[in-house]
Amino acid sequence: MRPSDIGVFDHVDRRPDISLQQYYEDRMAAVEAFDVAGFHSYHVAEHHATPLGMAPSPSVYLAAVAQRTKRLRFGPLVYQLPIYHPLRLIEEIRMLDQMSGGRLDIGFGRGASPIELEIFGMPAEKSFAVYEESLNLMMQGLQCDGSFSFRGEFHSFEDVPIALEAFQKPHPPIWYGMHAPESAARAARRGLNVVSLDDAPMTHDMTVAFREAWAESQGGAPEPKIGIGRFIVVGETEEDALRIARRAYPVWHDSFNYLFHRHGSVPRHQRPREWDGIVAEKRALASTPEKIAAWVAEDMERSGANYLVGQFVFGDMTLEEALRSIRLFSDEVLPALGAVTV
């Protein structure tokens, strides 16, 4: 594996013991470290009214990322389409693509939390239909030069000028979060890159479905990135890595459940409360570079993925702890993975 086979996922979840201004500055320092290490892309979640997401406006946050990095690709995973007007989002995407010199990746989704959608007046039962129409509109609009017209159930307009031209043509690479073989196959037919956050056996079923649909629908086009997301903490000793992970992960988990607890419910894709629980599900590891490298290689083989998306910064992890883990991954894990073919 090369650095270009490694990406980063970030909920941008709140670290509670520092000011918000310092929090953003620390996050940008971590992003600069990903850039220097040569990772492929920095994928950012969108969440609202919760400490799980301190980037509720991904476009604003990513504009700062564009200016603080040189090589790193970046983008939302995902924009919650039902709460956007697609025309405004097309303009924001083209701004970011131009400002970054064509380093933007984009992801679209319905939104993982019905509670967040309803805050914006979007009923959960209506959101899928709005998402489907908005996605069709976005795909047409992102490829448009000149003016644009659209007639749908939720959005209709006639001859609206698109004044900002595209940098990446026909549009930036598009990403999708897959959770089932059926959604994986749909993404393949649309020509999308994908990421799974599930365990290796479940992901394997999705990667098989994805590749079958890709072969049938894409006419021999090169295979896109088929990713798996994993929590990763690298330490000089296993004890050091575990100490950080066992402290930081429950803080992240509290943020992950924050809105649901307020509303007396649980997330659809719940995670174990303690670090050792998610390790037991083989979706996380805190250890030495040697053990991390062996685990990643095995996980990629078992899942059928060709792209690792590491969640390296989470909970109350300090900037110093995060930078040490990123450095050890870059300097010692990646060379150990160099002979691995996925």
The model's pLDDT over 227-242, given as tens digits with 9 standing for 90+, comes to: 999 999 999 999 999 9
pTM of this structure: 0.95
Distances (CA, A) of 119 to 80, 83, 113, 151, 169: 13, 10, 10, 27, 35
Q: Which domains does the chain have, with CATH numbers?
A: 1-72+225-342 (3.20.20.30), 78-175 (no CATH)
pLDDT at res. 269: 83
Task: Please state, in angstroms and rounded to a whole number, the distance separating the CA atoms of residues 307 and 227.
Answer: 4
216, two tokens: 């049938």
pLDDT at res. 342: 39
pLDDT at res. 3: 66
Phi/psi of residue 106, nearest 5 degrees: -130, 145
pLDDT at res. 159: 96
Which positions ≥6 away from 41 have C-beta within 8 Å? 7, 8, 72, 73, 74, 75, 105
The model's pLDDT over 130-183, given as tens digits with 9 standing for 90+, comes to: 999 999 999 999 999 889 999 999 999 999 999 999 999 999 999 999 989 999
Phi/psi of residue 171, nearest 5 degrees: -170, 165
pLDDT at res. 15: 95
Q: Which residues of the chain have pLDDT under 50?
A: 339-342
